Structure 1
Amino acid sequence: MPEVNSLVNEFLIKLKKRKIEGSKATAKLTAEVLRSFISQKRLPHTNQADALIEAVKAVGEELIDANPVGGLSLSAESDNEDDVDQDDHPALSATAVAAAARSTLRPPSLQTLLEDMPHSTAVPQTSSSGGDSEGKSKSADKNLKTRKLKHNVIEAVNELIQDISTCHELIAEQAVEHIHQNEVILTLGSSRTVTEFLCAAKEKKRSFRVFVAEGAPRYQGHALAKELAARGLQTTIITDSAVFAMISRVNMVIVGAHAVMANGGVIAPVGMNMVALAAQRHAVPFVVLAGVHKLCPLYPHNPEVLLNELKSPSELLDFGEFSDCLDFGCRSGSPLLHVVNPAFDYVPPNLVSLFITDTGGHNPSYMYRLLADYYSADDLVVRRRSAS
């Protein structure tokens, strides 16, 4: 399968080189790569469903290991895993609980489609006495069932890609329930979900003002403020250092997120924890907008989770102006000036007031329930073992 392998390897290289940024772009491209992989994967004569599951898991492990921030952007098969809740059904096996969940809680997902297929998906081996006509019939039947299996799985992946593409629209539909007349909203950085959320409230005849912290050193807040003003919202740009001074005038903080951890904590652009602390100090609601594809089953203390990565120092200062400070002038051989440019902040769950997802609003303590709906407990156990 040279074409499939080259497609996966090309995507892995882009992840490792940080050519793909943002959890939404990463999740959507991952689903598209897996869709192509499933379509071109050659399956054995027997146990085709099991073989396809293992192949997708193997590719998923490679993508997670290559992901820019320790696996925080979710891969496609993770978003479609079964719900296994053994606490509610202690006397039942994991398989029985999963089957009950599929039939009563939600429509089938990619994982349930594979599990529902019988282990003997393909036709058993034919005997030598069966004749050529019988062998051709068996082979045709096997090819038909293989195509049906792949078709069902690809349809599920297509639904996932559609959900990822439209999640900001579903979140924006809830804007009128949370933004009221003459309020002052504060946000940090730039997020398409936040943009559509605020503009949706404006379209519902809500009149409010938006404070946008500029989000140094990348200054993504400038682009957000320009777009909001172009779409008719009263917008004010403030420096990041002015957040605490202005927070007393704010009614609500609305921000986006890079990932949502299993404990309800948030991985967000750098500076977000400062905003959350200021909001808590002045009892201002801190609301996070995040699609369910941003849910991560790992905890912040997990050894395989890197809560941050460092960006280029050139975003903070020009090398030419500070070259004398960067010389190795001391005996230890280290430079006199160190430049630290982190990309993300971790916001603990106690600072978050509400999550607004494409499935509705949820408290941070409810994140574990959403994770149970979108992840297989078996996969999480395997992942923990591989990390240890």
Structure 2
Amino acid sequence: MDATPGVSLVERARALAPLIAGEADEIERTRRLTPAVVSALIENGLYRALLPQSLGGAEAAPDVFMQMLEEIAKADASAAWCLGQCSVCAMIAASLDHDTAHEIFNTPPGILAWGAIAHEARAVEGGYRATARWDFASGSRQANWLGAHVRILSGDGTPRRHADGSPEVRTILFPVASATLHDVWNAIGLAGTGTDSYEVRNLFIPERFATFRDVPQALREPGPIYRLGTGSAFSLGFAAVSLGVARATLEAAIALARGKHQSLAASAMRDNQAVQGLIGRTEGDLRAARAYLYATANAMWRDLSATGEFSNAHRTAVRLAATWTIHQSARVVDAAYHMAGATAVFRSNPFERRFRDMHAIAQQIQARDTHYEDVGKLILAEGR
């Protein structure tokens, strides 16, 4: 890592924003992060935000990780999404033996990506064999390692189960060169994330490259961030990305309102009381969403750091705050987009892409409405 000592991850991210913003059109056009952006993120250590310190990572607290992603998202949502995805994937290092983790994360570029849980791997002598295809591997075009979450089958093909009867699920890790990547990511937003599919056939995965994800008993690192788990880290990270997109879109609308004369209007938008009121309310909505997300994250982090336990109550609180923040950010973007009028529909202006990116974020698993149902069910069950 070539990052300047003593300069925080957030400061580095903020310093990189002009470069990333300048590359945003090319990221959109080529549907991948540009070499200049990837190199800058690597050289400044941003992909290593959640990697253990024992491996040269920052092992950052959640609020630092979130602020880092906000700053990048203000410049380009796809860059922030890839950075958030691969940073959280690196948390798996805490469940690997040191030599294995060193091989994966300290061999340049040291980037791991993975997709959704699916399919099986069969236990064989010395490891596992897998033939499968997985989807939604954001950041895979920058990665040199891929992972997959699979149900484990015994040698005779029967599912392996834990003592409570639940299926045994492991995360298997393998070099990108061992897989075939399928360019399938032609989406309305987050175009540059390269959220592709990937496939392996009869691939042997040595035992040391298969581990349990988000299982405290499997952890080999003492840092409390690893007890948070990747699921909740993804929620906080992607909610922070949505805040960055919302802030950039609202700022663009404010800048437009300061100078634009609407058609047939005698004065600038800045003097229109309806516009003034909309900006005030939207600013309040965005500040409230950010305050709620960070208050939830910080309360969780204080307790987790003190006790070493990530409670179910905090897990639920993080899920609720992240989901609501993404939805609220989408409302902010919608308000800013409509405020801009016809200006917003042109690709040359800073609204159309962010509108599409924000609504792609809002369709992801972290923003599902069913999360509200889960939280409501728990609230209604209290006191039984």
**TM-score, normalising length from structure 2?**
0.30
Rg: which structure is higher?
1
TM-score normalised by the chain length of structure 1: 0.30
> If each structure's helix is expressed as a fraction of its own residues, which one has the higher value?
2
